[in-house]
């Protein structure tokens, strides 16, 4: 290791002879938490915005007299006269009463796509949802620009994020180790981590920003190529939604791994930067 992130100079030996390294730089930690806050509010305000027209389409426009829909969440009255929440995915209907389409207590049913506990504000308010969404969209994009520039300059991107050939070759082994709940803690990102972080940081985040801009009629005039790139405003809206789901999926796995790999150590490393290595790495990477 000849990089500053794991500079042997920074390695300190603790009283109990456990080895800690400085794992995350300040800029990595700050951008991580800024994103965490911004993405949380972007998600909840985004679901508020989705509720204003809870249907997704492919193409430039929304089919009202023709069908180009791929997803919708609608309340629908069944044969017994009861209103059910029906979620339609690519033409298949699912009864999601209680959460999607129809939610809330029996006496005060709310007919809304996403329930009150998943939106900001909790009540139906598209105007405020948009205010929150666009404020944190600015935060998110600004933090992304800072992270990207810093990570190019300090080598974080090349060293820790971009998977190399070695990472691709190591992938089957890392995968089987993870399935067996065997986690290695040598301070470096393993090939699975690199791959998932590269996907999120270099594909999902830019996709979110660009599909978001594609929905702006002003930006359509400024950068009409956005519409060509994504195949129309409504397709961009659908991609925005799908990438949201992928990011939520990443978040679930991310939290799972933090708990599985040792929540105290992992949280400390993202707050203070210090990360404790497995004993067997004492003399290994910390040459």
Partner 1 sequence: MTRLFVSRRRFMGIAGVAASTVPLAGCDMLDGLLAGDDPVRGFLASANTLTYRLQRLLIPVDRLAPEFSESEIRQGQRPNGSTDPTDPAYLALKDAEFAAYRLNVSGLVERPMQLTLDELRNMPSRTQITRHDCVEGWSCVAKWTGVPLARVLDEAGVKSDARYVVFHCFDSMSLGLAGSAAYYESIDMIDARHPQTILAYGLNGSALPVANGAPLRVRIERQLGYKMAKYIRAIEVVSDLSTIGGGRGGYWEDLGYDWYAGI
Judged by the rule CB under 8 A, the positions of this chain that interact with partner 1 are: 44, 49-50, 52-53, 55, 57, 60-66, 116-123, 125-128, 130-132, 134-135, 137-138, 177, 181-185, 215-222, 224, 227, 233-234, 237, 255-256, 259-263, 265, 278
Closer residue to partner 1 (CB): 49 or 161: 49
Instruction: Give min distance, CB of 98 to partner 1, in A.
Output: 13
Among all chains, which residue has been given the structure tokens 């700050």? 30
How many whole angstroms separate alpha carbon 277 and alpha carbon 187?
6
Measured from the Cβ of residue 116, the count of other Cβ atoms closer than 10 Å reads 14
Q: How far is CA 268 from the centre of its chain?
A: 21
Closer residue to partner 1 (CB): 95 or 186: 186
Closer residue to partner 1 (CB): 49 or 202: 49
Enumerate residues 6+ apart whose C-beta is below 8 A from 51: 112, 113, 114, 119, 124, 126, 129
Instruction: Give min distance, CB of 225 to partner 1, in A.
Output: 10
Closer residue to partner 1 (CB): 25 or 185: 185
Closer residue to partner 1 (CB): 83 or 99: 99
Instruction: Give min distance, CB of 145 to partner 1, in A.
Output: 13
Instruction: Give min distance, CB of 260 to partner 1, in A.
Output: 5
How many whole angstroms separate alpha carbon 111 and alpha carbon 118?
14
Tokens of 22: 């400085």
Closer residue to partner 1 (CB): 165 or 181: 181
E strand residue ranges, the chain: 12-13, 19-22, 55-57, 69-77, 83-89, 92-95, 101-103, 110-112, 274-276
Tokens of 36: 């965490």
Instruction: Give min distance, CB of 4 to partner 1, in A.
Output: 27
How many whole angstroms separate alpha carbon 88 and alpha carbon 95?
9
Instruction: Give min distance, CB of 11 to partner 1, in A.
Output: 20
């Amino acid at each position: 290791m000849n990089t500053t992130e794991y500079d042997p100079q920074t390695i300190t030996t603790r009283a109990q002879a456990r080895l800690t390294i400085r794992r995350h730089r300040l800029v990595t930690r700050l951008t991580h938490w800024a994103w965490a806050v911004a993405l949380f509010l972007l998600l909840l305000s985004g679901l508020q915005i989705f509720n204003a027209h809870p249907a997704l389409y492919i193409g430039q426009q929304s089919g009202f007299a023709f069908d180009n829909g791929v997803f919708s969440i609608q309340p629908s009255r069944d044969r017994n006269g009861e209103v059910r929440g029906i979620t339609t995915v690519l033409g298949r209907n699912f009864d999601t009463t209680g959460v999607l389409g129809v939610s809330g207590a029996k006496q005060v049913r709310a007919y809304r796509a996403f329930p009150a506990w998943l939106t900001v504000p909790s009540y139906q308010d598209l105007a405020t949802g948009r205010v929150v969404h666009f404020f944190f969209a600015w935060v998110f994009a600004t933090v992304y620009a800072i992270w990207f520039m810093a990570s190019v300059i300090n080598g974080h991107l090349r060293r820790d994020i971009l998977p190399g050939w070695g990472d691709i070759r190591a992938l089957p082994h890392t995968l089987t180790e993870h399935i067996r709940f065997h986690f290695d803690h040598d301070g470096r990102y393993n090939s699975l981590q690199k791959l998932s972080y590269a996907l999120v940081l270099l594909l999902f985040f830019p996709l979110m920003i660009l599909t978001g801009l594609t929905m702006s009629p002003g930006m359509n005039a400024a950068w009409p190529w956005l519409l060509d790139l994504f195949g129309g405003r409504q397709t961009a809206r659908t991609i925005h939604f799908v990438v949201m789901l992928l990011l939520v999926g990443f978040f679930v796995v991310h939290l799972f791994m933090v708990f599985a790999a040792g929540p105290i150590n992992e949280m400390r490393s993202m707050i203070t930067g210090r990360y404790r290595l497995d004993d067997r790495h004492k003399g290994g990477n910390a040459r």
